[in-house]
Structure 1
Amino acid sequence: MKNTDPVDIKIESRIKGKSINLSHLRPERKKLGEAVLFIHGASFPSELAFGFRMNEISWMDNLADAGYEVYALDFLGYGKSDRYDYMSGKNAENESIGRGEEVVKDMDIAINYILTELSVSKINLIGHSWGAAVSGHYASLFPEKIDKLVLFAPFIQRNGTTKWDKTKVSYKDLTPGERVEQFISRIPEGREMTLESEVLDKWGDKWLDSDPTSKTRNPFSVRFPSAWEADLFDCWNGNCFFDPRKIKNPTLLIRGEWDTTFNFDDAEKLFGQMENAPSKRYVVIDRGTHVLHLEKNRFALYDEVQLFFESK
C-alpha cells in the first residue's frame, strides 16, 4: 500500500506562546474508535522514531494499514514543536525544563485533542525509552483516558548509584555521526549489524533537518533538551518519577534482547511491580537493542504490539 504522509497539527502547549506538534496519519479503512498515540524518547522526535520509513514503511504506516488512527507527539524542543527559550544558548546553566512530570501536561493537551477530534473516550498509548516512563506516569494519572499501554524499553527506578553526575546543562548538541555511532555501539561485539540500511544512509540527514538551528553551529548538530538525562539520573539513583505500581491499564512491556538501558533485570523488576495492572505481558525481541524500532527485527516489534492491541 502506498502510504501518505502524516498531517501536522499545531496545538498550544502548557507554556503560553509555545506550540507542540501532533502528527496524524489516517487509515484508509479504520477500526471504529481505535486510536494510537506515540511518545518519543530522548534526542530525536517522533518523525525520526515512529514516522521514519525503512523499506518504504514506518511504524506509523504499519498501524495505519491495520486500521488505526495514528498520532505522534513531539515534545517542546523536538522536531516540529517550538523550542524552549533556554535552547537559544542564552541561559544554558539553568535547571532543566521539560522533565517527565512537566511534559505529561502537554501529553494531556494532545490526548484531550484526540479524544475530542475522534469522539472517543480512550486511546492506546505507546512510549519509547524516556517517553515510555513518561507514558507510564501519564497512565497512572489518567487511567480513564488510556485503553492499552505499551512500555517499550522504559526508564525505571534502580536503587544503586550512577558513576556519572546529574547534568547541569539544559540542552545537548550532537552531530548525526555521533548519534548513529551511539546506536551502533549498543550492538554486542561480534554480532552483525542490526540497524536498517536507511538508518545508516539517510537517518542522520533527516535528523539534522528536524532542527531548524542545526546548520547555525559548526559542526552541524542537533540541539535537544537534557531534561531526560536529569530524569534518568534520578531514576537510576532511587528517586524515579514513574511508579509502575500505579498503572491500572492492560500493559505490554517490550524490549530488545540486547538492550542495556532497559536490561533483563530492569524488565523482571518492572513486570513484578505492575501489580495493579488488570493484565500484563512481557515480550523480548531477539537480536534487538534499545532502538529496536530502527532495526531489522522491527517487524517482530510491530506484530507483538498489534497482537496486544487486538487481544481481549
Structure 2
Amino acid sequence: MIKKMIWFLLSAACCWAQGGGSEYERFRFPSRLEGKRLNLLYTASGKTESKGAVLFVHGSSFPSELSAGYRIQGVSWMDVMADAGFDVFALDFLGYGGSDRYDHMVQDDKVDDVPNGGRVVVRDLDIAVDLIRKQLGIDRVVLLGHSWGGTVAGYYASLYPEKVDRLVLFAPIVQRPGSTTWEPSESLFLEQTPQQRMEQFLAMVPEEQEMVLEQDVLQQWGRAWVESDPTAQERNTGSVRYPSDWQKDLYDCWNGNCFFDPEALAVPTLIVRGEWDTAFGARDAEMLFDHMVHVDDKRYVVVGHGTHVLHLEENRWALFDEVLTFIKNEER
C-alpha cells in the first residue's frame, strides 16, 4: 500500500512537495469550485503494513497544519497516528492553509455569493475521501473531525456511511434545543490576530485552574498561523483571514436547525471532549450520544483538564490514546 502511494506521489502531474521545513507531503487537487484547488497533508504509516487511512478534518479559523498537524515538542497528532500504523491525511478546506482562497478573500470583497458552510464544503470532503480510497485501494477511511470540522465529518458520515470505517467527533458543534441572541457575521471572511486567538484559547480555562496550553503553542503557534495565510503578507496587518460561514452553521445549530442530524448516523462513533469545554459541553455530548439511535458501537469519553483545543494542551496524550483505542477497535 505504501509503495503504491509513493508511486502516485512521484507520478502525479500536480504537486506533492515538502514545504516550509515540514515533513508532511502535500497534494493539491481540484475542489468543488472550478479553478480552485484543495490541499491535503499526508504522512505514511510507520509500519510495514498499513492499518488503514485516517483523515483529519479541521475546525474553523485555523488549518490542518496548525491543528492535527501541529508539532509540539517535535510530535503532532498526525505523527502519533502514523507511528501506530495508519496512513494519515489532513484536509485543508478552501480558504485555509495550503488550499486556494475564495476570490472574495483575496479581493477584499466582504459581500459575495459563494457559500462555504458545512452543507457545501462536505462536497470537498467527499472529493478528498474518494481520492484517498482510490489511491490506497480501500473502501473506507476513518474520519476524525474537530469542532466545526467534527460537525462536517458527522454530516458526511450520515450521507456516505459506506465510505466511513469509524468516526471520531472531537468537540463538534451540535444542535441545541434553545435559542441564542448571538448573531453571525454577514461577512464571508473574518480577520483575527494571533494575540486575539491566543487570548481566546487562554480564556477557555476556568479561572481557578492553571494554564494548560503548551509552551510551544504560546510561543510559536501564532507566527505559524500568520504564515499559513498567503494574504497576510500583502495586507501587512499581522492578522489571519478565514471564511466565516461556520458562524452561520453555529447559529443554526444553536437555534435548533443544525445541518448534522445524529439520528442519521449508522457508523461506529466516538464522542470525545475536554472537561472544561463549553462550546461542546457535557449536556451537548450527552444529547448527541442519546440521539445516535442507529449507532450500535458508540462511546463517549471525557478527558480531564482540557478545553475545546485539547489537542494543543498538556493532556493531549490522553486524547490521542482514547482515539487510538477506538479506531483500533480495542477494549479498555
Per the TM superposition, whether the score is higher than 0.5 is: yes
Q: Secondary structure at the match of 1:14?
A: coil
- CA contact 1:96–1:227 (8 Å) conserved in 2: no
Select which of 120, 124, 138 maps to 2:156: 138
Residue 66 of structure 1: aligned partner: 84
Structure 1 position 28, deviation (Å): 2.8
Select which of 68, 75, 86 maps to 1:50: 68
Which range moves more in the overlay, 70-79 or 214-223?
A: 214-223
**4+ runs deviating over 4 angstroms:** none
Q: Secondary structure at the match of 1:160?
A: coil
- CA contact 2:46–2:84 (8 Å) conserved in 1: no
Structure 1 position 91, deviation (Å): 2.7
One-letter amino acid of the counterpart of residue 155, structure 2? H
Residue 222 of structure 1: aligned partner: 240
Distance 1:267 1:156 in 2: 8
Which range moves more in the overlay, 208-217 or 42-51?
A: 208-217
- CA contact 1:96–1:169 (8 Å) conserved in 2: no
Residue 249 of structure 2: aligned partner: 231
Select which of 291, 294, 313 maps to 1:273: 291
Determine if the alignment matches structure 1 residue 201 to structure 2 residue 219: yes
Select which of 26, 42, 45 maps to 1:8: 26
Structure 1 position 295, deviation (Å): 0.3
Residue 112 of structure 2: aligned partner: 94
One-letter amino acid of the counterpart of residue 268, structure 2? P
Closer, same or farther: CA 85–144 of 1 in aligned 2, 3 Å: same
Residue 185 of structure 1: aligned partner: 203
One-letter amino acid of the counterpart of residue 187, structure 1? V
Distance 2:137 2:296 in 1: 25
1:10-29 paired onto structure 2 within 5 Å: 10-29=28-47
- CA contact 1:26–1:70 (8 Å) conserved in 2: yes
- CA contact 1:30–1:69 (8 Å) conserved in 2: no
Residue 248 of structure 1: aligned partner: 266
- CA contact 2:104–2:111 (8 Å) conserved in 1: no
Q: How many residue pairs align between the two structures?
A: 310
Q: Secondary structure at the match of 2:271?
A: strand
Closer, same or farther: CA 30–184 of 1 in aligned 2, 3 Å: farther
Which range moves more in the overlay, 79-88 or 24-33?
A: 24-33
One-letter amino acid of the counterpart of residue 116, structure 1? K
Q: CA RMSD in A?
A: 1.4
Unmatched 5+ residue regions in structure 1? none
Distance 2:38 2:315 in 1: 31
TM-score (norm 2): 0.91
Structure 1 position 159, deviation (Å): 2.0
Distance 2:71 2:168 in 1: 21
TM-score (norm 1): 0.97
- CA contact 1:86–1:92 (8 Å) conserved in 2: yes
Residues 267-310 of structure 1: CA deviation (Å, up to 9, x unaligned) = 11000001101210000000000000000000000000000011
Unmatched 5+ residue regions in structure 2? 1-21
Distance 2:186 2:35 in 1: 26
Select which of 158, 166, 180 maps to 1:162: 180
Residues 160-219 of structure 1: CA deviation (Å, up to 9, x unaligned) = 121211321100000111111110010100211110111100000000000011123353
Distance 1:297 1:190 in 2: 18
Residues 55-85 of structure 1: CA deviation (Å, up to 9, x unaligned) = 1100000000111000000000000000001
Residue 4 of structure 2: aligned partner: none
